[in-house]
Each structure stands twice: as C-alpha cells, then as structure tokens.
Amino acid sequence: MGVHWDHETARFAVLNFLIDCMKQTLASMIQEAEDKIVRDRLKALLSLIDGGKQEYLIFVNHRRIDENIPDIEVLGGFMLIEVKSKSAEFDAARRKLEKDYCPCYANVRYALVTDGRFYIIYKVEGGRLTKSGQGSPEGIRSRIIEIFTEGLSTYCGLPPTSDKIYEVFSSLEVDLELLKELFEDKKIADSP
C-alpha cells in the first residue's frame, strides 16, 4: 500500500495536471483552427493561463462555504472534480457529485474523482454518472484533452448566444444568491 497524499497535496497535483492538459488542448486547437476569430479566442485563453490566470478556465474552490461546491470546476462547470486523499473515498465522492454537485450546474457534462494519482472520469447524462475512463494521469491524458476540446469548442467555436451565456454563467447564480444572503446577514451597506 502506497503513501497517501494529504488533500492539499493531491489538489495541487490535480490542478497542475489539468493546467498542463488545458495548455496542450489550447495549443492543439490553435494549430487546427481555420477561423481567425476562433483562433484569437483560443490564443486569448492560452495567454490567460500563461499569465497565471487559469482560474478563468480551471477554478479551484479554496473555501467551501456551501456543501454543494466541488473542489475544482473546469470551464464554468462543464467538468466538476472532487479530490480525495484516499482511493477508498472514491465511491462516496461519486455519490456526492451525482446527488449534490451536478444538480447545481446547468452545463455539467463530465465529473472526475481523483486522489491525484488515479482518476475516474464520468459522463453526466440526465443527472446520472456513467464511467467514461480511468487510469493514471498519463493514462487518461488523451481523454481529458478530448473532454477539454469538447468544452472549449462549445464555448469558443460558437457565437455568443443567450443560451451559451446562460450555460457559462448559470453556476454563478448559486454563488450570487449566497453572496446576497451573506451581505444581508451581515447587514453590509451597498449590498448587491
């Protein structure tokens, strides 16, 4: 039996892996993009990551104020990730994703459970999680890149419509409601 990473070490390893996969995905999509507007959008996203602003694409929830917030959100909730320190916690994490997290995100298509060394990828359909792949980081890299390509194609390849804008920002509604409650509870002036 190997040594377990603590939660923060695992989350850091996962974040670095995801950033690397996202950069690889963006670089590949930039090379293949025929449309200049799409290529420019992708280049802008890559420059955000290169500038240390990856939270616009891969958001880490450092403070878990609400129990219905996963450890990491990719592309505005297109993929939700739950990091555990032990693989023995994976089944409970999958149930938590399916029951508590996924229903809060309108555009979730994939979920992932990991300890940073082993990953299980799930496809989310009709609120149910179906296993879509598993393995070590290098063993699932190509699958993660496919998923990121799908997500980026959805958000960068189509003109901004009200539906697309809603998909990207709908998960923020939960955060906005929480912020409103906090402002009201603390009676902070000029609250939203």
pLDDT in 10s for each residue of the chain, 192 residues: 466 788 888 999 999 999 999 999 999 999 988 888 888 888 989 998 999 888 888 898 876 655 668 999 999 899 999 999 898 999 999 999 999 999 988 889 999 999 999 999 999 998 899 999 999 999 999 999 999 999 998 876 544 445 545 555 555 555 566 666 766 766 655 544
Q: How far apart are CA 192 and CA 22, in angstroms?
A: 34
Q: How far apart are CA 124 and CA 110, in angstroms?
A: 5
Q: How far apart are CA 192 and CA 179, in angstroms?
A: 8
Which pLDDT value is given to residue 13?
93
Three-point CA angle 134, 138, 139, nearest 5° = 35
Work out the end-to-end distance of the chain between its first and last CA atoms, rounded to an integer number of angstroms: 51
CB 33 within 8 Å of CB 39: yes
Which pLDDT value is given to residue 188?
59
Greatest Cα pair distance, the chain, in angstroms, is 55
pTM score of the predicted model? 0.77
How is residue 150 written in tokens? 């799908």
Q: Where do the domains of the chain lie?
A: 7-160
Which H helix or E strand runs over 13? helix 7-32
